[in-house]
Structure 1
Amino acid sequence: MLERKLRKNSTEVTFVLPADFPPGPVSVVGDFNGWTPGTHQLKAGKNGLRAATVSLETGRAYAFRYLASGDHWFDDEHADTHDGRNGLIHT
């Protein structure tokens, strides 16, 4: 799930997944963080979900995917679109 909050000069995007699936650590990686695992690791909350919030420039499209332990890459079904390889979010 993706949540957006429009700020004065940016859009805060929160990437949200269930706390227990997939198991182990999960990072959101994309062109906004150089595709670097661990930069935006999803953290568990008390609501049974885990999330990471990233501040992005408004008016752009960003490619992203999730990376779980065991080198398991997967997409977010709630992405705005897909380019055949990655999910895309439009801010």
Structure 2
Amino acid sequence: MSFKKQFLKSKPVCKVSFRLDAAEASGAKKVQLLGDFNNWDKSAEPMTALKSNDFTATLELEAGKEFQFRYLIDGTEWKNDSQADSFVANSFGEENSVVSTIA
């Protein structure tokens, strides 16, 4: 699990590339990246599956904010990103990952 950030000079956004590795995806057929940026919408487009069985997605997020997110594996299992900038408690007694776009 990981993500890489690239702040764009041309506009106030941060390009964030999320990656869930095959070991963490544990044989998943579909992984979705859900969070504040897509209103936790379970009908959101799934992440792209790579030949390595890793999953990836790149989003342009507004700079200067923090976004909560989690990975949803095969519609049933939630996973956090161990490399997240921080973690916050959610209303389900678990934690959400946080990605910060504050430079």
- Shorter chain as normaliser: what TM range? 0.7 to 0.9
Following superposition, the deviation at residue 45 of structure 1 comes to 2.9
Deviations along 1:10-29, whole A, 9 cap, x unmatched? 10111101246232100010
Separation in structure 2 between the aligned mates of residue 15 and residue 37 of structure 1, nearest angstrom: 17
Q: Aligned residue for 2:92?
A: none
Separation in structure 2 between the aligned mates of residue 40 and residue 70 of structure 1, nearest angstrom: 12
Identity %: 31
Q: Aligned residue for 2:100?
A: 90
Which stretch of the first structure deviates more once superposed, 11-20 or 58-67? 11-20
Residue 18 (1) aligns with residue 13 (2): no
Q: Aligned residue for 1:62?
A: 67
Kindly name which structure, 1 or 2, has the bigger radius of gyration based on alpha carbons: 2
Equivalenced residue count is: 90
Separation in structure 2 between the aligned mates of residue 40 and residue 87 of structure 1, nearest angstrom: 19
Following superposition, the deviation at residue 44 of structure 1 comes to 2.1
What is the letter of the counterpart of residue 3 of structure 1?
K
Q: What TM-score do the two structures reach when normalised by structure 2?
A: 0.78
Q: Aligned residue for 1:52?
A: 57
Following superposition, the deviation at residue 50 of structure 1 comes to 2.0
Q: Aligned residue for 1:80?
A: 85
Counting helix residues as a fraction of each chain, which structure ranks higher? 2
Following superposition, the deviation at residue 69 of structure 1 comes to 0.9
Separation in structure 2 between the aligned mates of residue 25 and residue 88 of structure 1, nearest angstrom: 22
Cα RMSD (Å) of the superposition?
A: 1.6
Q: Any conservation in 2 of the 1:64–1:87 contact (CA below 8 Å)?
A: yes
Q: What TM-score do the two structures reach when normalised by structure 1?
A: 0.87
Contiguous gaps of at least 5 residues in structure 2: 90-94
